[in-house]
Structure 1
């Protein structure tokens, strides 16, 4: 099974701002440019590969435009693919978030809920559920439009599955391991570029 993971285009927002679950738009010209650069690579994929997307508009708008250009059914929206919820940190400048709260998260990355939102363990759990459903698709691949944090978490789910065996189901401690693995993936996730994730389903 191959997952083609695509991060949404750059949204209309200052990069110094904390945003996760907030529903941020993409400028029309940025969307058009993203579709144009993605189409040549996606047109080479088998036509039966479904298109699945986070419902947040920065993803769903791109996925809808790609579906139309590729003459596919509209994308299936999966709320589990959304970015992490940062609670009252959302849409605040990172520099305005109290340092004590940031340090609290650094001290317990898997279990601390930044801004009273989601813990990374909770994100790992819902992303694992989305991941297993993607692998259950009858096609040999899926195009997934989501977020940088979601892409890192899907890679972490795949790595844990490879290490532990395809029939093993994670427990609470395992979700903490998956979360920490995702945090350790420091490489930049580019906007609107496909990233291939190969997963052995047997």
Structure 2
């Protein structure tokens, strides 16, 4: 199966703020330009194409626009694709978050919950569930509109699967390895960027 991962367009709130699971909007003109560019890239995939998206509007608005432009009848919204929940850090300026709190997270990236929100292992668990559903699907191509953190986690899931076999399912140690691999993925992912990810399909009967 081929996943076509798209990070949402640039939201109205800039990167000096923490806005993981917060539902931040995208300007209409930014959304339209991003959709137009991506449609041209994705048109060859139109027959039999599926679209899955984070329900947060900076993703779902783009997914809906792409579905209309590509003639896809419906999209799937999955909360498992949402960006990490940063608890009390949400919508705070990064400069206003106590450095001691950031350092506590740096010391235990996998298991510390920044702002009392989610841990990376918890994010890995829910993203793996989405990944597992996708790899058991019948579609040859699927557009996935989500967030930078979700994309890194999906790539980490695919890398773990490639190492352990198509039918493998991660235990607690596996989820920690996926979380840490995603955290170590330092590649900058641009707003509205499209990237391909090939994953090993698993027959539904193997579930």
TM value normalised by structure 2? 0.95
Using the TM superposition, give the Cα deviation of residue 169 of structure 1 relative to its aligned residue in structure 2, in angstroms.
1.3
Q: Which runs of 5+ in 2 are unaligned?
A: 203-207
User: Could you tell me which residue of structure 1 aligns to residue 205 of structure 2?
Assistant: none
User: Could you tell me which residue of structure 2 aligns to residue 134 of structure 1?
Assistant: 134
Could you tell me how far apart the structure 1 residues matched to 2:169 and 2:144 are? 23
RMSD over aligned Cα atoms: 0.9
User: Could you tell me which residue of structure 1 aligns to residue 8 of structure 2?
Assistant: 8
Using the TM superposition, give the Cα deviation of residue 46 of structure 1 relative to its aligned residue in structure 2, in angstroms.
4.1
The question of whether the paired residues in 1 share the 8 Å contact of 2:55 and 2:79 is answered with yes
Could you tell me how far apart the structure 2 residues matched to 1:184 and 1:55 are? 26
User: Could you tell me which residue of structure 2 aligns to residue 165 of structure 1?
Assistant: 165
The question of whether the paired residues in 1 share the 8 Å contact of 2:112 and 2:119 is answered with yes
Could you tell me how far apart the structure 2 residues matched to 1:87 and 1:200 are? 34
Could you tell me how far apart the structure 2 residues matched to 1:74 and 1:199 are? 23
Query: Residue 200 of structure 1 aligns to a residue in which SS?
Result: coil
Q: How many residue pairs are counted as aligned between the two chains? A: 202
Query: Residue 45 of structure 2 aligns to a residue in which SS?
Result: coil
Query: Residue 44 of structure 1 aligns to a residue in which SS?
Result: helix
User: Could you tell me which residue of structure 2 aligns to residue 150 of structure 1?
Assistant: 150
Could you tell me how far apart the structure 1 residues matched to 2:167 and 2:53 are? 26
Deviations 1:73-108 (A, max 9, x none): 121101100000000000101111011110100000
Using the TM superposition, give the Cα deviation of residue 12 of structure 1 relative to its aligned residue in structure 2, in angstroms.
0.2
User: Could you tell me which residue of structure 2 aligns to residue 195 of structure 1?
Assistant: 195
User: Could you tell me which residue of structure 1 aligns to residue 45 of structure 2?
Assistant: 45
Q: Which runs of 5+ in 1 are unaligned?
A: none
Query: 4+ residue runs of structure 1 moved beyond 3 angstroms?
Result: none
Deviations 1:81-138 (A, max 9, x none): 0000000000101111011110100000000000000000000000000001011121
